[in-house]
Amino acid sequence: MANLKELRSRITSVSSTMQITSAMKMVSAAKLNKAQMAITAMRPYADKLTELLQSLSASLEGDSASVYSEQREVNKVLVVSIASNRGLAGAFNSNIIKASRELYENVYSGKQVDFVTIGKKVNDIISKTHTVVANKSDLFDDLTFANVAAIAEELMELFTNGSYDRIVVVYNKFKNAATQDVTTEQFLPIVPTEGDTNVNLDYIFEPSKEEIVEQLIPKSLKTQLYKAVRDSFASEHGARMTAMHKATDNATELRDSLKLSYNKARQAAITNEILEIVGGAEALNN
């Protein structure tokens, strides 16, 4: 059994760790509240805008079709992996790394697959074994729509100039504080609407349908990427809050166990001292 001094040292160390994880949990909870409100407020707009553009794009054919809807043979793929700049968030970053490698090794096996990383953690791992054409980790220093839109414009340019035939985004979709779903979405070309659509209804377009699509598609793509980054940002704080909550519970359990061991060891030491005193007294009496 460990001596009393060692047990006291371990109890102090665990208690200090518990205070740190508890403080990190509270900080993440505060940040999560703000991030959650931001993503839940914009998600309906972003989803409806994407649905509208997909429907309109599907109704355009031939020369009227948008350049962003062009379906080409997939030989060169760009994967945008969105994670975080910091760790201590459970499997948040490792899940993105795993999903990104899955695309490279299985989904697009035999193709040229390059990466754009948003988040230092995913960049540090992916860049060791794969080609990273751009690292946008500084985005989280100032997460605004304008900064995300600039990245979206670069991605659109890479598609339209033929550098890549497909661009996909991998990120954690926020569900709740305890659940984040790893999601892979095709960014470009625009995915046509499946099944029945309402594009054949007698709508009056002003200006023309082609002009509306041409003006709204870039905005829709920027919004789509911004939603993915916002989803990931909220998921990060949810994952970290959950991880720190579990770490605090584990530290509390370990501290209580050490205190019990300490009390037993102290009781045993006191009992030995009493026995020694009694034994000494008996020896003097004899």
User: Helices (H), strands (E): how many in the chain?
Assistant: 5, 5
Q: Work out the mean pLDDT of the chain and round it to a whole number.
A: 86
119-131: average pLDDT: 93
Q: What integer pLDDT is reported at residue 208 of this predicted model? A: 72
Question: 195 in a domain, yes or no?
Answer: yes
32-47: average pLDDT: 88
Band (pLDDT 50/70/90 cuts) for residue 59 is: low
Q: What integer pLDDT is reported at residue 132 of this predicted model? A: 94
Dist CA 81 CA 99 (whole Å): 9
Band (pLDDT 50/70/90 cuts) for residue 62 is: low
90-94: average pLDDT: 92
User: Cα–Cα–Cα angle for 12, 16, 17, nearest 5°?
Assistant: 120
Band (pLDDT 50/70/90 cuts) for residue 63 is: very low
Q: How is residue 286 written in tokens?
A: 């004899």
Q: In the predicted model, is pLDDT for residue 102 greater than 90?
A: yes
68-89: average pLDDT: 91
User: Cα–Cα–Cα angle for 38, 40, 45, nearest 5°?
Assistant: 100
Asked if residue 210 lies in contact with residue 140, where contact means CB atoms within 8 angstroms, the answer is no
Question: 257 in a domain, yes or no?
Answer: no
Over residues 150-168, the pLDDT tens digits come to 999 999 999 999 999 999 9
Over residues 181-194, the pLDDT tens digits come to 999 999 988 876 66
Question: 265 in a domain, yes or no?
Answer: no
Dist CA 104 CA 140 (whole Å): 25
Which helix (H) or strand (E) is 76 found in, with range?
strand 76-82
Q: In the predicted model, is pLDDT for residue 57 greater than 70?
A: no
Question: 270 in a domain, yes or no?
Answer: no
Q: Tell me the CATH number at 214.
A: 3.40.1380.10
User: Cα–Cα–Cα angle for 28, 33, 38, nearest 5°?
Assistant: 120
Over residues 220-247, the pLDDT tens digits come to 899 999 999 999 999 999 999 999 999 9
Q: In the predicted model, is pLDDT for residue 13 greater than 80?
A: yes
104-120: average pLDDT: 93
Question: 4 in a domain, yes or no?
Answer: no
Band (pLDDT 50/70/90 cuts) for residue 211 is: confident
The b/e string for 33-69 (b: 16+ C-beta within 10 A; e otherwise) is eebbeebeebeeebeebbebbbebbbbbeeeebbebb
Secondary structure (3-state) at 78: strand
Domain that holds residue 132: 21-243
Q: How is residue 149 written in tokens?
A: 């839109």
Q: In the predicted model, is pLDDT for residue 199 greater than 60?
A: no
| Site of tokens 């414009």 | 153
Q: What integer pLDDT is reported at residue 103 of this predicted model? A: 94
Question: 194 in a domain, yes or no?
Answer: yes
- Measured on CA atoms in the order 279, 282, 283, 284, is the torsion positive or negative? positive
Question: 168 in a domain, yes or no?
Answer: yes
Question: 216 in a domain, yes or no?
Answer: yes
How many domains are there within the chain? Answer: 1
